[in-house]
């Protein structure tokens, strides 16, 4: 069933340590005072400006296959294409922090408040990821109620791990996130900018496991997949 | 000159007000704008860039210094023009089509401006043709491309191919960067250079343009 989710503002505000870790900055206790001030101000601004909301819809595997089909790429050539057939549950999602926060970031950069703009952008990016995690947790809770307590849920998004950004188009056609104010431009970029989209894949930890031997893995320097797989395999 | 060193020091501290005050003072004392730029602002940014490269300071520290640099540069610009101080070169920058991650690219632009280059920033979601068109239109001698996504970095190859196709190879250099990009990829697509971060980007641009 398609569902609009309205989050409370604090639910989209990341912890300081999450922002610092994501940006490779020192831990809180060793952070220079001027950076600490920047971070605190950015977190306060995020808490004030964020307008978190999402749309989510559980769908059967055949419908998700139809979301991937227009890409014309064999499913086995994508991480998500290899993973989803093993899923016990799938849900499309789009979650956004709203327009006020990116607007403030743009304004800061326009005013040459570069460090402030950068820090707020970092906080907002962490906030958007946090929303995806919260949706994953909500979905997991639903699966627990259905007796699928073993299910591990991970979000997979267009733009990553071989899923082309043009994959946004069929995803948007299926989910219609315009209702929460999210649109696509001609290049399939989402507006507001601080928005995440994709599919929540639920299944046993092993369902998320794959060998990172895709052609695009050669170009990847983040190797985020290893951390993601470890997170669900550890809990399994 | 003591005041130029104070400008450089204030810039390293990210003190934009002090940099503005000292730059105005130096201009009032009759110092050439070119000297204030090179021995004050650029000297200070060079130190910050080196500290960033050695991981002694972090990106937000660099950005605080960059704002301080702009505070001085804004005062100098009219004087630089009237003194006929040439830029070190003109560079077109952008993030690849389909990619909206432009913080890294912005930082490269700031560092290049701090090093005395003229920067034409095309923003994000830039089509391959737009890079080359802008370079021709602006008379730029270098195109800098950024991507955060493995799904968009492949378009860098199209820009390099377009540069060759239009007979601009050797006249317009290309340099690539961004999280998924590395030196092997740059070599594979025929780009002239690769930079792992903004500080290295300045070095590579200097080397490529002989500036």
Torsion of CA A183, A188, A192, A194, to 10 degrees: 140
Provide DSSP, B68-109. Answer: HHHHHHHHHHHHHHHHTPPPS-EEEEEEBTT----HHHHHHH
What pLDDT shows up at residue A14?
97
Ramachandran sector of residue A181 (left: φ over 0; alpha: ψ -120 to 50; beta: rest)? left
Burial class (CB in 10 A: 0-12, 13-18, 19+), A200: buried
Q: Closest by alpha carbon to A127, among A92, A151, A95?
A: A95
B-chain residues within 8 Å CB-CB of A164? 151
Question: Which of B58, B70, B180 lies at the smallest CB-CB distance from A219?
Answer: B180
How many domains is chain A partitioned into structurally? 1
For residue A217, give the chain B residue with the closest CA.
B150
Q: Closest by alpha carbon to B38, among B7, B64, B67, B71?
A: B7
**CA gap B62, B15 in Å, rounded:** 12
B60, A38 contact by CB (below 8 A): yes
Whether the per-residue pLDDT at B161 is higher than 80: the answer is yes
Contact B60 A165 (CB under 8 A): no
Task: Please report the residues numbered 204 through 223 in chain A whose beta carbons come closer than 8 angstroms to any beta carbon of chain B.
Answer: 216, 219-222
Instruction: Look over chain A and give the mean of its residue pLDDT values, rounded to a whole number.
Output: 93
pLDDT tens across A66-112, in order? Answer: 999 999 998 889 999 999 999 999 999 999 999 999 999 989 988 88
Report the percentage of chain B scoring pLDDT > 70. Answer: 100
Q: What are phi and psi of B119, to 5 degrees?
A: -115, 125
Q: How far is B125 from chain A (nearest CA, A)?
A: 7
For the residues A219-236, what does the mean pLDDT come to? 81
Whether the per-residue pLDDT at B150 is higher than 90: the answer is no
Question: Which of A119, A188, A221 lies at the smallest CB-CB distance from B60?
Answer: A119
Q: How far is B103 from chain A (nearest CA, A)?
A: 7
pLDDT tens across B174-192, in order? Answer: 999 988 788 888 999 999 9
Residues 6+ apart with CB under 8 A from B33: B27, B76, B79, B80, B83, B85
Give yes or no for A192 touching B (CB within 8 A): no
Whether the per-residue pLDDT at A1 is higher than 90: the answer is no
**CA gap B119, B64 in Å, rounded:** 19
- Cα B201 to the center of its chain, rounded Å: 8
State if pTM tops 0.80: yes
What pLDDT shows up at residue A235?
57
Which residue range is the domain that position A48 belongs to? 2-233
- Residue B166 — pLDDT band, cuts 50, 70, 90? very high
Interface test with A, best of B52, B55, B56, B58 (most A CBs within 10 A): B58
**CA gap B1, A202 in Å, rounded:** 66
What pLDDT shows up at residue A217?
86
Task: Write down all domains in chain B, each with its CATH number in brackets.
Answer: 2-83 (1.10.1240.10), 90-209 (3.40.50.280)
CA quadruple B105, B101, B92, B141: dihedral sign: positive
What pLDDT shows up at residue A92?
98
Give yes or no for A128 touching B (CB within 8 A): no
The token pair at A2 is 């398609």
For residue B65, give the chain A residue with the closest CA.
A115
Interface test with A, best of B20, B60, B158, B191 (most A CBs within 10 A): B60
The token pair at A178 is 């315009």
Contact A162 B150 (CB under 8 A): yes
Q: How far is B127 from chain A (nearest CA, A)?
A: 9
Contact A165 B98 (CB under 8 A): yes
Report the percentage of chain A scoring pLDDT > 70. Answer: 99
CA quadruple A130, A133, A138, A139: dihedral sign: positive
Considering only residues B1 and A36, tell me which one the structure prediction assigns the higher pLDDT.
A36
Q: How far is A97 from chain B (nearest CA, A)?
A: 16
Q: How far is CA B135 from CA B13, B123, B155, in A?
A: 35, 14, 17
Considering only residues B144 and B53, tell me which one the structure prediction assigns the higher pLDDT.
B144
Q: Which residue has the tokens 């570069």?
A: A114
Longest dimension (CA), chain B: 54
Residues paired with residue B67 on neighbouring β-strands, in sequence order: none
Helices of type H across chain B: 2-12, 16-28, 33-35, 43-53, 59-83, 103-114, 128-138, 155-165, 183-189, 198-209
- Residue B211 — pLDDT band, cuts 50, 70, 90? confident
**CA gap A128, A12 in Å, rounded:** 7
Q: How far is A141 from chain B (nearest CA, A)?
A: 31
CATH number at residue A42: 3.40.109.40
pLDDT tens across A172-188, in order? Answer: 999 999 999 999 988 88
Contact B67 A115 (CB under 8 A): yes
Give yes or no for B197 touching A (CB within 8 A): no
ipTM tops the 0.85 cut: no
Contact B110 A114 (CB under 8 A): yes
B90, B105 contact by CB (below 8 A): no
Contact B67 A114 (CB under 8 A): yes
A30, A150 contact by CB (below 8 A): no
Give yes or no for B22 touching A (CB within 8 A): no
For the residues B124-138, what does the mean pLDDT come to? 96
What pLDDT shows up at residue A145?
95
**CA gap A153, A134 in Å, rounded:** 11
Q: Which residues of A120-135 are buried (b: 16+ CB within 10 A; e: fewer)?
A: bbbbbbbbbbbbbbbb
Neighbours of B169 (CB within 10 A): 14
Give yes or no for B182 touching A (CB within 8 A): yes
| Angle at the Cα of B149 from the Cα atoms of B147 and B155, rounded to 5 degrees | 60
Provide DSSP, A77-125. Answer: GSHHHHHGGG-SEEEEEEEE--SHHHHHHHHHHHTT-HHHHHHHHHHHH
**CA gap A196, A94 in Å, rounded:** 6
Give yes or no for A196 touching B (CB within 8 A): no
- Residue A222 — pLDDT band, cuts 50, 70, 90? confident
């Amino acid at each position: 069933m398609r569902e609009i989710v309205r989050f409370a503002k604090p639910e989209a505000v990341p912890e300081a340590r999450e922002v610092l870790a994501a940006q490779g900055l020192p831990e809180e206790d060793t952070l220079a005072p001027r950076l600490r001030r920047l971070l605190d101000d950015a977190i306060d601004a995020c808490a004030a400006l964020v307008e978190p909301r999402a749309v989510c819809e559980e769908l059967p595997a055949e419908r998700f296959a139809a979301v991937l089909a227009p890409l014309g790429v064999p499913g086995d050539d994508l991480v998500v294409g290899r993973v989803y057939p093993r899923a016990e549950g799938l849900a499309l999602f789009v979650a956004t922090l709203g327009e006020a926060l990116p607007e403030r970031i743009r304004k800061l950069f326009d005013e040459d408040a570069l460090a402030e703009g950068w820090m707020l952008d970092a906080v907002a990016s962490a906030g958007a990821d946090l929303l995806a995690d919260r949706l994953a947790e909500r979905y997991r809770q639903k699966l627990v109620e259905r007796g699928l307590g073993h299910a591990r849920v991970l979000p997979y998004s267009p733009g990553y791990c071989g899923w082309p950004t043009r994959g946004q188009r069929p995803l948007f056609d299926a989910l219609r996130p315009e209702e929460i104010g999210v649109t696509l431009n001609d290049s399939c970029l989402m507006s507001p900018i601080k928005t995440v989209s994709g599919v929540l894949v639920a299944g046993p930890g092993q369902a998320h496991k794959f060998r990172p031997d895709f052609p695009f893995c050669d170009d990847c320097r983040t190797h985020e997949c290893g951390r993601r797989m470890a997170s669900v395999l550890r809990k399994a | 000159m003591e005041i130029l060193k104070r400008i450089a020091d204030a810039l390293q501290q990210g003190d934009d007000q002090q940099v503005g005050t000292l730059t105005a003072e130096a201009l009032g004392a009759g110092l050439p704008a070119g000297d204030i730029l090179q021995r004050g602002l650029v000297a200070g940014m060079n130190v910050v860039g080196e500290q960033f490269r050695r991981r002694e300071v972090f990106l937000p520290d660099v950005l605080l210094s960059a704002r301080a640099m702009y505070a001085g540069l804004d005062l100098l610009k009219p004087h630089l023009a009237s003194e006929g101080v040439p830029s070190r070169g003109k560079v077109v920058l952008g993030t690849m089509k389909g990619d909206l991650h432009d913080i890294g690219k912005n930082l490269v632009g700031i560092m290049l401006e701090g090093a005395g280059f003229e920067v034409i920033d095309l923003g994000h979601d830039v089509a391959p043709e737009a890079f080359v068109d802008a370079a021709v239109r602006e008379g730029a001698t270098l195109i800098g491309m950024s991507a955060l996504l493995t799904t968009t970095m492949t378009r860098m190859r199209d820009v390099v191919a377009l540069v060759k196709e239009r007979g601009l190879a050797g006249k317009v250099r290309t340099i690539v960067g961004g999280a998924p990009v590395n030196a092997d990829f740059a070599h594979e697509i025929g780009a002239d250079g690769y930079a792992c971060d903004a500080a290295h980007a300045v070095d590579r641009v200097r080397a490529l343009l002989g500036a």
